[in-house]
Structure 1
């Protein structure tokens, strides 16, 4: 176990942040390391990367800073909104991964796929001669998960997206605190503000849908008298597309259609 990774979640939870952390190389070592950690704010990557230093020598360095660069690039492409996965993105400025993991788009028993199944992220090498490689060339980061034990929060872009919306609501609604009396108009303005934030997220494709309301079950006269209200905001982040199952089988009606077409043409000739 890594003492820093073990201590990080408590800090990350307080500031609503995530951390990209480097795990050990190799499936067995990575799996043992991963089993010591559980957090929806830790995003693991393995292996390290090789790059050229100032003198032209090849040196080995952690991969986390490179993945962080991909994260910044993806957020920038989405107008700074952190609702997109960083997976299937090229890594630039490296000469290779510290260790080459076998990876296949169709074979789940490869080392790379098994690390992904253990919620890890990997750096895979492209191969123009392999139809089942992730790319024809270069080096690609593949990883959609954090180290959460809750399936609903295992995709890191969902965690980051929820943080973004909640912080947006916080920064927007703080203007109401202490300035306005809690009237019907104020309550409706608060509900409308949250609704507009969620509506924009839905329009951008960040969330699939939402419901926002003044919660009739939680609000009561005593809380209202003290200046406390409850707003129920429900929304579902869009999941990343990461698996496809396609059934491929013969289509017999095409044969009958061919026969019918030939017969029709024959009748026309006759």
Structure 2
């Protein structure tokens, strides 16, 4: 070549994009729903919730669940309609479905491939028996999503006993219900509110203490006093159950930040969701680096991409801090030569202000100021 040739060098930091965190995955029944819009055992993406409500039919849980969600926000909802069973065992089997055939709740695992959306806010309002909730927690772990389900029981004691059946960080149990006719109303509205919070605030904010639309009361009498640690509401929260109150500032809200995790580091809902979103956003944000030559420049670009993401999240108030680094001991020469790279990172999620202590003192010192002012 007699001239000048320019090589385009693809190096430098890539921005790690933010993923949609508020896509709802809903399992519901409705024998008379529009089968074209809501096919059986297939993930159906609903992007216009208002229009879809006219096609849900009049039977089953689909209509009431979507109406409760729509009262909060109009998000993307991935609906998997399942058949109505003749008894609880048959209904549980339909809701849970088959992992091999991708039916029931397992159809949500195929949703991203079929629709382009990954559901992360999950529930089966009105259908969430113990068997269903147990299986759903497993599906949620694969999706890195969050399941909201009812804590089954007629009393606080029974709800607390029911809570002991679970040890999943991906699960939030709710008790009792809103005083609406739909048995799954509390769960359905939690799905909608979670999507609304993700849209307006972010995944780092818990479900607790945000106004719920479309409710007029609570199905059980509960004693609550924000300055009393011995109330019904406190007892439920102490057992990691999300409950509900009439807020002193007005309206009705969910009350509680805890998951069903057996690991204290993931006791708070925001800690779990922060971990989940960081996992996916960082991993997907580094796809560009896959199969490129493993050089010092590539390693630096990967580290800077992660650290730049952390800086943005800290600025946004979604993270207290985070850092990625290269540990030479975890990256021996033979592993690097074999195309294997290990990058460490840590982070501190934002904890919800769950307990505020106010120290009150009585004093006469302000009378001294008063005397001085009168003398002037």
Superposed CA RMSD in Å reads: 1.9
Other structure's SS at 1:97 match: coil
Q: Is the contact between residue 171 and residue 260 of structure 2 (CA under 8 Å) also seen in structure 1? A: yes
* Structure 2 residue aligned with 1:198: 310
Shift in Å at residue 252 of structure 1? 4.8
Q: Does 1:154 align with 2:154?
A: no
Where do 4+ consecutive residues of structure 1 move more than 3 Å? 58-62, 251-263
Unaligned runs of 5+ in 1: 52-57, 127-133, 266-270
Deviations 1:154-192 (A, max 9, x none): 1111111111111111111011111x1001111111111
* Structure 1 residue aligned with 2:178: 49
Query: Alignment partner for residue 343 of structure 2, among 231, 235, 238?
Result: 231
Deviations 1:64-93 (A, max 9, x none): 111111101101102xx4111121112222
Other structure's SS at 2:173 match: strand
* Structure 2 residue aligned with 1:94: 215
Q: Is the contact between residue 121 and residue 145 of structure 1 (CA under 8 Å) also seen in structure 2? A: yes
* Structure 1 residue aligned with 2:290: 177
Q: Is the contact between residue 50 and residue 61 of structure 1 (CA under 8 Å) also seen in structure 2? A: no
Query: Alignment partner for residue 85 of structure 1, among 202, 206, 223?
Result: 206
Unaligned runs of 5+ in 2: 1-128
1:1-270 correspondence to structure 2 within 5 Å: 2-24=130-152, 25-51=154-180, 58-78=181-201, 81-124=202-245, 126=246, 134-178=247-291, 180-259=292-371, 265=376
* Structure 2 residue aligned with 1:131: none
Q: Is the contact between residue 270 and residue 350 of structure 2 (CA under 8 Å) also seen in structure 1? A: no
Deviations 1:12-62 (A, max 9, x none): 2222111001012421011110111111111111112233xxxxxx55444
Other structure's SS at 2:322 match: strand
